[in-house]
């Protein structure tokens, strides 16, 4: 693994000095040297140029949570509009833009990015590394994500926001029926966001296979890593599909092509195939890492290892593998052949098998353990219940005749919220409570934490479970108002009340975060008595993560004595001490045997400027400012050249085979 950012040298050059170095005690000169080497420059320059995975991870979490709040406010406006019949708070066009941006925000700007934030922060700590494989690429992925979100939201106050639904079906989103810039904003914004997701996913894959601590074999990595890895591989395969779909749509709208124009030989159904080949694996991409959060954190509060680690890891991969085979699940009402419907309906039911394995593992872990009812445990246990409800409604819609009846009704809206909100938000909030001490060095308030859980849990179920009943009563999706004669008044009022109760629970959580940042009790390195490697460092961790690269001997390195797990013991005090600049270790993909010393890149603002110029290029495409587009393309190319320009200090330490820019 070599690039203009990272250089390798044989590990044998360094192993000879290990016995002389040994353990680096806290506060020692070597730790001061490491801190000076790895810490970012203070002030705005350091903020702009840092490539520290922990800073980037927290930025992802905070930014995505801001988008969650924005999407939640949009949802509350929708629920006010629908609380009573014949409401006139919103016009039909305003409603179209509002529910579209709500879906786009929650699905694309919140759900996956916040999980990327957890993984960015935790992966190197869980794996015993000092950083991600490509730190500059990591920073670049965040800036592109931020600029893509701003790109799509700038249109909102101008009344030109996307208005064709987050699924953006043609021909309604084509040039014939939607002539404004609304859909162009969505199309270009999604292509821009796809760049961020793709480079971030590639970074996760390489990090797992080359950046683990010695001894952390492939069957010892935490389930969170398996979940994010599976999602990342899927993203690399499906993001090109949806990016192509949006680019072809933009060409239809701006360049006069006819990819989706049936009057000129185009195929409208092609859009649905391209979108849902991406869309269904994406559902699991925003669920599997959340499942990983629960799988790794829940055992801490049950005081025992996760039941069925191997089965859980295999189930994680099986869910995504089968998920690639069920995109037609979203197209049962499009007139496809009966044989195809039968095959994909069966596959949609089969996917419940690995999901059930996961549920069994969580319940068995709780049943066989000694649960400690702290706030994170409550959120994780609540997630298991919501996971079952969302999964059961998914199996119902896998039956083709039933799907024909429920399709385009509020039953699907209920299922969607249980899957995308309940199965994502509850693990995320529980994960923030769990890792907040590691992020900040302080504990969150337990009283406020338990109050926020019960308010959120009750509000969520009061708000979204009645949507199933509304669907069974025939209420269609995406209607901006309804007549009082339809009989939907009561169920919609209950849903709106529940939505506001859920919002109050989120507000209590945010108050807890703010208060705990200033007044929370000091946490210490391992306040939960957890088993995984991230708790072997101080809270918050130093810039270099580990002074001595740990050697791992089991799946639960901090519980080895009580579990008597494995033949040896993990070592956090003696081993590789890499202190000649920013250095990390590279290990073999399967057995995690040390291979080479990696010279990691320094901080730089180049990822920020490259992301900025690419985003401005998309602004030029949107506004048809062709000279501006060309200028930003040139500026972006120059930024890329600066990024990849080799440095003499690195070239002198390169391995004999030389560098390969990548």
CB of 542 within 8 A of CB of 131?
no
CB within 8 Å of 630: residues ≥ 6 apart: none
> Average pLDDT of the chain?
90
- Pick from 442, 424, 421, 428: nearest CA to 512: 442
Average pLDDT on 114-128 reads 96
> Using CA atoms in the order 71, 77, 81, 84, what is the torsion angle rounded to 10 degrees?
100
CB of 203 within 8 A of CB of 137?
yes
Q: Tell me the per-residue pLDDT of 161-198, one tens digit each, with 9 for 90 and over.
A: 999 999 999 999 999 999 889 999 999 999 999 999 99
Average pLDDT on 331-356 reads 89
Q: Supply the CATH number for residue 53's domain.
A: 1.20.210.10
Q: Tell me the per-residue pLDDT of 257-295, one tens digit each, with 9 for 90 and over.
A: 999 998 888 999 999 999 999 998 998 999 999 999 999
Query: Of the given ranges (29-43, 352-366, 493-507), which has the lowest mean pLDDT?
Result: 29-43
Q: Is the pLDDT of residue 20 over 90?
A: no
DSSP reduced 3-state for 165: coil
> What is the predicted pLDDT for the residue at 659?
39
> What is the predicted pLDDT for the residue at 18?
37
CB within 8 Å of 638: residues ≥ 6 apart: none
> What is the predicted pLDDT for the residue at 566?
64
Band of residue 563 on the pLDDT scale cut at 50, 70, 90: confident
> Does any domain span residue 366?
yes
Band of residue 255 on the pLDDT scale cut at 50, 70, 90: very high
> Does any domain span residue 606?
no
Q: Is the pLDDT of residue 110 over 90?
A: yes
ω into 171 cis (within 30 of 0) = yes
Phi, psi (rounded to 5 degrees) for 172 = -65, -30
- How far lies 258's CA from each of 183, 264, 265, 268, 480, in Å? 16, 6, 7, 10, 31
> What is the predicted pLDDT for the residue at 645?
84
- How far lies 241's CA from each of 170, 265, 270, 338, 512, in Å? 16, 21, 11, 25, 41
> Does any domain span residue 598?
no
Q: Tell me the per-residue pLDDT of 513-533, one tens digit each, with 9 for 90 and over.
A: 999 999 999 998 999 999 999
Number of separate domains in the chain: 1
- What DSSP element (H or E) covers 550? strand 549-551
CB of 609 within 8 A of CB of 643?
no
Average pLDDT on 113-126 reads 96
Average pLDDT on 1-22 reads 46
> Does any domain span residue 151?
yes
> Does any domain span residue 403?
yes
> What is the predicted pLDDT for the residue at 22?
37
Bridge-based pairing state of the strands 571-576 and 583-587: unpaired
CA–CA separation, 409 vs 42, rounded Å? 53
Band of residue 27 on the pLDDT scale cut at 50, 70, 90: low
> Does any domain span residue 28?
no
H runs (alpha helix) in 520-605: 560-563
Expressed as residue numbers, the domain containing 231 is 45-519
Band of residue 5 on the pLDDT scale cut at 50, 70, 90: low
> What is the predicted pLDDT for the residue at 32?
85
CA–CA separation, 550 vs 545, rounded Å? 11
Q: Is the pLDDT of residue 661 over 70?
A: no
Q: Is the pLDDT of residue 28 over 80?
A: no
> Does any domain span residue 379?
yes
Q: Is the pLDDT of residue 652 over 50?
A: no
Q: What angle do CA 184, 146, 632 make, to 5 degrees?
A: 65
> What is the predicted pLDDT for the residue at 139?
97
> Using CA atoms in the order 217, 222, 227, 233, what is the torsion angle rounded to 10 degrees?
-30
> Does any domain span residue 304?
yes
Average pLDDT on 35-62 reads 93
> What is the predicted pLDDT for the residue at 1?
44
pTM of the complete model: 0.93
């Amino acid at each position: 693994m070599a690039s203009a950012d990272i250089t390798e040298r044989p590990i044998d050059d360094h192993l000879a000095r290990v016995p002389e170095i040994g353990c680096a005690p806290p506060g020692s000169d070597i730790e001061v040297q490491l801190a000076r080497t790895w810490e970012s420059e203070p002030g705005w320059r350091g903020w702009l140029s840092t490539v520290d995975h922990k800073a980037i991870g927290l930025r992802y979490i905070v930014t995505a949570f801001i988008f969650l709040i924005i999407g939640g406010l949009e949802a509350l406006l929708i629920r006010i509009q629908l609380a009573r019949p014949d409401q006139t708070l919103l016009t039909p066009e305003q409603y179209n833009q509002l529910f579209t941006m709500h879906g786009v925000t929650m699905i694309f700007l919140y759900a996956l990015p916040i999980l990327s934030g957890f993984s960015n922060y935790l992966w190197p700590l869980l794996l015993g590394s000092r950083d991600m494989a490509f730190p500059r690429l990591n920073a670049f992925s965040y800036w592109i994500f931020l600029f893509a979100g701003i790109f799509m939201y700038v249109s909102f106050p101008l009344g030109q926001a996307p208005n064709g639904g987050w699924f953006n079906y043609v021909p309604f989103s084509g040039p014939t029926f939607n002539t404004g810039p609304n859909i162009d904003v969505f199309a270009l914004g999604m292509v821009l966001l796809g760049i961020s997701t793709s480079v971030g996913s590639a970074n996760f894959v390489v990090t797992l296979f080359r950046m683990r601590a010695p001894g952390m074999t492939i069957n010892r990595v935490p389930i969170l890593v398996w979940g994010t890895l599976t999602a990342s591989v899927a993203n690399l395969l499906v993001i090109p599909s949806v990016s192509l779909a949006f680019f072809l749509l933009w060409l239809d709208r701006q360049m006069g092509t006819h990819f989706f124009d049936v009057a000129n030989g185009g195929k409208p159904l092609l859009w649905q195939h391209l979108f849902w080949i991406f869309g269904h694996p994406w559902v699991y991409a925003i669920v599997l890492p959340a499942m990983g959060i629960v799988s790794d954190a829940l055992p801490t509060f049950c005081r025992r290892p996760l039941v069925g680690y191997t089965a859980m890891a295999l189930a994680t991969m099986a869910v995504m593998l089968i998920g690639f085979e069920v995109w037609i699940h979203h197209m049962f009402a499009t007139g496809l052949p009966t044989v195809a419907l039968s095959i994909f309906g069966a596959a949609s039911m089969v996917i419940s098998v690995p999901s059930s394995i996961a549920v069994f593992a969580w319940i068995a872990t709780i049943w066989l353990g000694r649960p400690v009812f702290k706030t994170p445990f409550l959120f994780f246990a609540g997630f298991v219940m919501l996971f079952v409800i969302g999964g059961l409604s998914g199996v119902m819609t896998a039956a083709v005749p039933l799907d024909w009846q429920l399709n385009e009704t509020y039953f699907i809206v209920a299922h969607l919220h249980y899957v995308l909100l309940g199965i994502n938000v509850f693990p995320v909030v529980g994960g923030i409570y769990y890792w907040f001490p590691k992020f900040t060095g302080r504990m969150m308030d337990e009283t406020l934490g338990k109050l926020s859980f019960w308010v959120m849990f009750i509000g969520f179920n009061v708000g979204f479970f009645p949507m199933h009943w509304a669907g069974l009563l025939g209420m269609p999706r995406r209607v901006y108002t309804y007549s009082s004669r339809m009989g939907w008044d009561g169920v919609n009022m209950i849903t709106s009340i529940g939505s506001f109760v859920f919002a109050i629970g989120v507000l209590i959580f945010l108050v807890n975060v703010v208060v705990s940042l200033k007044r929370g009790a000091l946490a210490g390195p391992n306040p939960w008595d957890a088993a995984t490697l991230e708790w072997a460092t101080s809270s918050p961790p130093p810039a270099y993560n580990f002074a001595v690269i740990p050697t791992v001997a089991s799946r639960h390195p901090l519980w080895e004595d009580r579990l008597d797990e494995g033949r040896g013991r993990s070592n956090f005090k003696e081993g590789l001490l890499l202190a000649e600049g920013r250095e990390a270790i590279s290990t073999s993909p399967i057995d995690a045997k040390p291979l080479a010393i990696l010279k990691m890149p320094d901080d730089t603002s180049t990822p920020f400027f490259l992301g900025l110029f690419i985003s401005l290029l998309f602004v030029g495409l949107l506004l048809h400012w062709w000279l501006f587009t060309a200028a930003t393309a040139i500026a972006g190319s120059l930024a890329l050249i600066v990024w990849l320009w080799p440095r003499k200090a690195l070239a002198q330490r390169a391995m004999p085979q030389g560098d390969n820019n990548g």
